[in-house]
Structure 1
């Protein structure tokens, strides 16, 4: 082939699309490989089939030998039975009767050669004759003694002759099957030899196809990609690209685009330089943040206007100085190194603490140090941003002092309430004592005097209740509440509460309902305090239920808690007042109603008592009226799976 036609053919190949080239490069060796694999598959299948024939021939010889062995053992056993009349000699005969049908069936399936099958059919006849003879002999030997010995000897002689016939038939089957086996082994050897030759031919053809594919791939793709790689390296170094021939496939178009990309990148590099310059100017002029960079060892390499304003150093004074100069003496030896190490490991490190200005004064700073890495992940240095947080620090300190003052004031208030309540009890006890003496002798007084005595006693008891509530609240706030936690049976506790509260509800003219759960369990609570909480809830329900007709007391059993529920069908509580329910001295406007007495401490005290027993007190609006839930923990014996039926019945 001359040079011109060769160049023309190469150009034709070069201009083809990469999909076509890839198809040719891949399909050529792949087609050869698939053809070789198919040939190998056919050869392998033939070899496997020939090997199966060999294994089947061996199985036939083994089974024919087993037929003869079973019949020989059976004949020997029958002979022993005839001579001794002992049943144990019949074991080989019984085994032969069991195994022979399966063995003959396997032979019938395995024998395919027509010559061997003819001998096998004769073997089937003599085996059947032998089995019949053995069966007859066993029957004769087992019959009454009227059978003559001559008959038995003739039967044994016939059995021996039929066994010889079986032996000769087996030998004939094995001889003909051996001939078939020899032919099959020769066939296996021939197939294996052909398989090896075919493998060698396939390997040579595959190698030639691979060489052809590699040549086509190299001429059409590899050399041109190498040129593109060379141009890409020049593009990365900013050098002028090598001119490539005009070609119309994907690589040629890629070369053109790479040339255009080179021009575009040079333009963008100019824009990037200008943008970096503008960013540098912006950073230098930021005043509220100190932004500067450090090298890998922590030496200052840049300095902006904000850093100068916050720290006091100018760029000339601080550049090439270690940034530990900004730290006070107590942290200078360890904290700068720790910050850099954290930034290296985590990418960034943040800290708040005291820093030092040029004039030696301290300021509270928020500092963020960020590790700067290149595209390969190599550490290039650090960026450090500092913000003066002194004003926020002063605000936080003022807030902390105010909080401490509030806590101290609350503690003083608690102490004042406690001391005042104790001081008021002494004269109040005297007033109540003299009032009780007057009540004893009230028959001696006029009716208006008796009414005055009753008012004195009523006011004294009300004041005593207020003082007791104040003492309880002050004790809870001071952490001195006496709480004795013990197991309290739920059913018994509800019955006791019902007995105590029934007069209160009855005096309000309301019906009092009691729901006791069917499940028997106990709660962990202070019995006296828990009674005080529930009685207060029942008293409130009776006191404020001015439009309903009933109050209900019940309990709901949950996973590990029990809720004692007090519910009424009165007017309920306005949604706007619910957030103030448990606020001390807040009666939610009821103080304007002269008929309803109260101090506004009941719910606040009840909630505190419930929490002191590791429980809680909550309110929820019922369909009509109000519902309060006092929750406490079950005792260890009472904790378990929820009782849904009881919970739904009492909720």
Structure 2
């Protein structure tokens, strides 16, 4: 039979929030417990304060005794100094001068009792007077003409002052002892009261805790067990339908579990629909073969793209091993190797020949990805295949075109080399006969001498052209006779400066050298480095018709050293600068008749610099131009012929870019 007088209080208690229940069940015993802890804390603090007071009293006694001892020793030392004049007696006085102020400062900080404070203020005055009197006696004794009676009076006054200090210190000690006894008595009384209060609080807390456990077990535990059963049913996938009546947090949680059960079932339905849509999307992809394998490599799914690329229908390939797609030369090992790599690394990629159902081959890009569950257990593999046959054909065609271009380049280099060699033989004869004619040119008429000069001049120009062609051809063919070694760039600059002087002087220009302050070790071929420098100097001298100088120097650029050739000539237009290092492309075609050249100097310099792992370039200046080429810096051991401190000298030899 329903009894409202019994059910109403239980219903009221069940509908209260967990916060209120927690306050009733836990807060009151906890408050009692906190009160007990606070009592213990206060008792502990009182005891700690008492111990601090005791330590402070001991410290006050120690410091007062120390002040008295220091002053007494200082007085004795001053007395000995006055009587003997020996400075060693002043050691206690100097010690007192150093340590008494710090002891007085500690006493000033430690003393709290007002009576002790009054005595301390008296002590402060007496201590200052005592030290001042001692200092005066020392000062007078140092002069040496003080009367003995005056000394005795001063010492007697000092003795009286020390007695007063001792009396004051005794007063401080007696008062501190009284204060200490009072504090100890008060602490013992407080500690006893706190212990009684703690015992009462512990008893009340125990009773409150027992009551809280009873209320908790009767009002919450039963319903939590019911909630646990609902959670287990939800984990099994069962739908919860019974809604609890209670309105507290536990009841609302049970209601949310019921709603969550309905929501999970709805989402499972949506997930199944989404998986179906995803399956349809995968199956309709035509450009990629996408299918799944089980852990042993058997095909478990098949899409339209796989059917189009491989030629197998789903019913023909499902359940068969994917090694059927590999040619006979790789079928026995590559499929298992791919699966093993995917197991170890998560995925494996490969490109190679594959076999269609009809036996035809195609070039495929294949990616196999391992599929694992949340526990890391292997569930199978996803395999994506793309037909790359057309791309491979394009790559092969590109390789063939590259081979043809390389063959054409080699043929060009061979042609230049052979042609240059063939031209050299008759050219040597022309130059030889021209030089013979020059020997006897005084026997010829003026017009004949001019013709002989033109013959030798043209022969030398043609010989220079042939030599440049041979150098370029040998560099392009990879057969250049370079000897890469460690060089002293400073010495090479000096040599190039000497060789370039006549070239610059013939153009009526000043030739400047930024001389290095020491050894500059670089890596390169000495002959070729000098050749590049002279090429750049010759260009600067030829084209600098309106300026006044050509300057040779160097700059540091990180791990490289730049050799620079500057001039203050007309410069080079920005539009033409990109053609500077093109073979046979001479800038200023309208002036070709006035300025000699083959059009190969800069191109050859570029090839030589790059063959020595360097570079070459051009910079436009406000007036004129700067050409540069770079060489790698080299470190030298201490016993190097370039010098023991090469690195240090190098850092200060050339400025930095």
Q: TM over 0.5: same fold?
A: yes
Are 1:494 and 1:554, in contact at CA under 8 Å, matched by a contact in 2? no
Matches within 5 A, 1:185-200: 185-196=184-195
Q: In the superposition, relative to structure 1, how do residues 201 and 541 fare at CA in structure 2: closer, same or farther (>3 Å)?
A: farther
Matches within 5 A, 1:611-630: 611-630=610-629
TM-aligned CA deviation for residue 382 of structure 1:
1.2
Query: Paired residue for 1:347?
Result: 346
TM-aligned CA deviation for residue 418 of structure 1:
2.2
TM-aligned CA deviation for residue 72 of structure 1:
11
Q: In the superposition, relative to structure 1, how do residues 423 and 100 fare at CA in structure 2: closer, same or farther (>3 Å)?
A: closer
Matches within 5 A, 1:178-577: 184-196=183-195, 234-235=233-234, 237-245=236-244, 262-328=261-327, 331-332=330-331, 334-358=333-357, 362-477=361-476, 478-483=478-483, 485=485, 486-489=487-490, 492-493=494-495, 495-496=497-498, 498-506=500-508, 511-512=509-510, 514=512, 516=514, 519-522=517-520, 524=522, 525-544=524-543, 548-550=546-548, 552-558=550-556, 560-570=560-570, 572-575=572-575, 577=576
**Aligned partners of 1:418 and 1:618: how far apart in 2?**
27
Are 1:590 and 1:596, in contact at CA under 8 Å, matched by a contact in 2? no
**Aligned partners of 1:320 and 1:96: how far apart in 2?**
102
**Aligned partners of 1:366 and 1:539: how far apart in 2?**
57
Q: Secondary structure at the match of 2:417?
A: helix
Q: Secondary structure at the match of 1:364?
A: strand
Q: In the superposition, relative to structure 1, how do residues 440 and 184 fare at CA in structure 2: closer, same or farther (>3 Å)?
A: same
**Aligned partners of 2:102 and 2:450: how far apart in 1?**
119
Q: Secondary structure at the match of 2:380?
A: strand
Q: Secondary structure at the match of 1:353?
A: strand
Q: In the superposition, relative to structure 1, how do residues 321 and 6 fare at CA in structure 2: closer, same or farther (>3 Å)?
A: same
Q: Deviations over 1:574-600 (max 9, x none)?
A: 42x444432323335738954444333
Q: In the superposition, relative to structure 1, how do residues 54 and 257 fare at CA in structure 2: closer, same or farther (>3 Å)?
A: closer
TM-aligned CA deviation for residue 440 of structure 1:
3.0
Are 1:122 and 1:169, in contact at CA under 8 Å, matched by a contact in 2? yes
TM-aligned CA deviation for residue 465 of structure 1:
0.8
**Aligned partners of 1:221 and 1:77: how far apart in 2?**
86
Q: Secondary structure at the match of 1:489?
A: helix
- Higher mean Cα deviation, 358-367 or 460-469? 358-367
Q: Deviations over 1:204-224 (max 9, x none)?
A: 667777788888999998877
TM-aligned CA deviation for residue 259 of structure 1:
5.1
Q: Deviations over 1:224-260 (max 9, x none)?
A: 7776676565555442223324677777777666655
TM-aligned CA deviation for residue 295 of structure 1:
1.7
Q: In the superposition, relative to structure 1, how do residues 460 and 292 fare at CA in structure 2: closer, same or farther (>3 Å)?
A: same
Q: Secondary structure at the match of 2:566?
A: strand
**Aligned partners of 2:75 and 2:577: how far apart in 1?**
106
Are 1:572 and 1:621, in contact at CA under 8 Å, matched by a contact in 2? yes
**Aligned partners of 2:49 and 2:473: how far apart in 1?**
101
Are 1:537 and 1:566, in contact at CA under 8 Å, matched by a contact in 2? no
Are 2:307 and 2:313, in contact at CA under 8 Å, matched by a contact in 1? yes
**Aligned partners of 2:653 and 2:35: how far apart in 1?**
74
Q: Deviations over 1:346-405 (max 9, x none)?
A: 332212233344565554321111122334544322111122323333332333343334
**Aligned partners of 2:651 and 2:401: how far apart in 1?**
47
Q: Secondary structure at the match of 1:54?
A: helix
Q: Deviations over 1:131-183 (max 9, x none)?
A: 9xxxxxxxxxxxxxx99xxxxxxx9xxx9xx99x9999999998987676566
TM-aligned CA deviation for residue 515 of structure 1:
5.3
**Aligned partners of 1:549 and 1:606: how far apart in 2?**
24
Q: In the superposition, relative to structure 1, how do residues 273 and 633 fare at CA in structure 2: closer, same or farther (>3 Å)?
A: closer
Query: Paired residue for 2:45?
Result: 45
**Aligned partners of 1:340 and 1:220: how far apart in 2?**
59
- For structure 1, list consecutive stretches of 5 or more residues without a partner in the other structure: 132-145, 148-154
TM-aligned CA deviation for residue 302 of structure 1:
1.9
